[in-house]
């Protein structure tokens, strides 16, 4: 849970958020947004809301089995929306730094993206590692609807949420996966990386 600091949200494609919400995956890959203040990805908080983005999603960057999921995320969405609903909250279990293609390839069965997309993320800003965040995901009950502010827009990883968004109570969080299923996925990822 977040402390008294200003609450933050990590921006991610809505289709990846759907994969997290359904338990299809427990990881996200980050290198940093194009307009990142620090020019590289930094973990601003060990727990955060997950903020859905829609405009830059591309089917061809998803494995074939996941491509139709984009259509689901776009149903009811408009670029003119003035509010967004945050439906997930995440706790970082581990921040794994990936430096090479061979290690990244070991994770291919644990996410929805194509090998090409994962490789491009690794290659971008070559000197910096790719961060693979292993996340314990919770659904917010109810979801949190907030106004879309100008500062939320653009290619950056993090957004500072309004100060009226307070800390989360455990009673509001519903784990996507049982403790046992979550631990199984974590162990599978760790074994794959050690292979």
DSSP character string of 77-112? --TT-SEEEEEEEEEEEEEEEE-SHHHHHTTGGGSS
Q: Given pLDDT bands bounded at 50, 70 and 90, which one contains residue 91?
A: very high
Q: Answer whether residue 70 is part of any domain.
A: yes
Which pLDDT value is given to residue 128?
A: 85
To which residue do tokens 């794994």 refer? Answer: 96
Residue 48's Cβ-count burial label (10 Å; 0-12, 13-18, 19+) is buried
Which pLDDT value is given to residue 5?
A: 58
Q: What is the pTM assigned to this prediction?
A: 0.89
Q: How far apart are CA 159 and CA 10, in angstroms?
A: 7
Q: Answer whether residue 40 is part of any domain.
A: yes
Q: Given pLDDT bands bounded at 50, 70 and 90, which one contains residue 4?
A: very low
Q: Answer whether residue 110 is part of any domain.
A: yes
Q: Answer whether residue 135 is part of any domain.
A: yes
Q: Answer whether residue 156 is part of any domain.
A: yes
Position 45 pLDDT exceeds 80: yes
Domain of residue 119: give its range.
Answer: 8-194
Position 9 pLDDT exceeds 70: yes
Identify the CATH number of the domain in which residue 135 sits: 2.30.130.30
Position 96 pLDDT exceeds 50: yes
Which pLDDT value is given to residue 139?
A: 96
Q: Given pLDDT bands bounded at 50, 70 and 90, which one contains residue 3?
A: very low
Position 146 pLDDT exceeds 50: yes
Q: Answer whether residue 103 is part of any domain.
A: yes
Q: How far apart are CA 127 and CA 107, in angstroms?
A: 20
* Number of compact structural domains in the chain: 1
Q: Given pLDDT bands bounded at 50, 70 and 90, which one contains residue 39?
A: low
Q: Answer whether residue 46 is part of any domain.
A: yes
Lowest average pLDDT, out of 151-155, 180-184, 187-191, goes to 151-155
Which pLDDT value is given to residue 38?
A: 52
Q: Answer whether residue 3 is part of any domain.
A: no
């Amino acid at each position: 849970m977040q402390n008294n600091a200003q609450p933050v949200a990590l921006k991610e494609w809505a289709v990846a958020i759907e994969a997290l919400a359904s338990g299809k995956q427990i990881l996200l890959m980050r290198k940093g947004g194009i307009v990142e203040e620090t020019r590289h990805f930094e973990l601003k908080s060990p727990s955060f809301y997950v903020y859905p983005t829609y405009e830059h999603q591309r089917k061809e960057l998803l494995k074939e089995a996941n491509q139709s999921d984009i259509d689901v995320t776009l149903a009811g969405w408009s670029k003119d929306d003035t509010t967004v609903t945050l439906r997930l909250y995440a706790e970082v279990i581990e921040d794994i730094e990936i430096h090479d293609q061979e290690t990244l390839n070991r994770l291919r069965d644990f996410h929805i993206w194509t090998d090409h997309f994962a490789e491009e993320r690794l290659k971008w800003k070559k000197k910096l590692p790719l961060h693979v965040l292993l996340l314990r995901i919770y659904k917010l009950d109810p979801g949190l609807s907030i106004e879309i502010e100008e500062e939320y827009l653009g290619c950056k990883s993090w957004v500072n949420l309004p100060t009226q968004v307070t800390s989360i109570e455990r009673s509001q969080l519903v784990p996507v996966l049982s403790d046992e299923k979550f631990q199984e996925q974590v162990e599978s990822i760790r074994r794959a990386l050690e292979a």
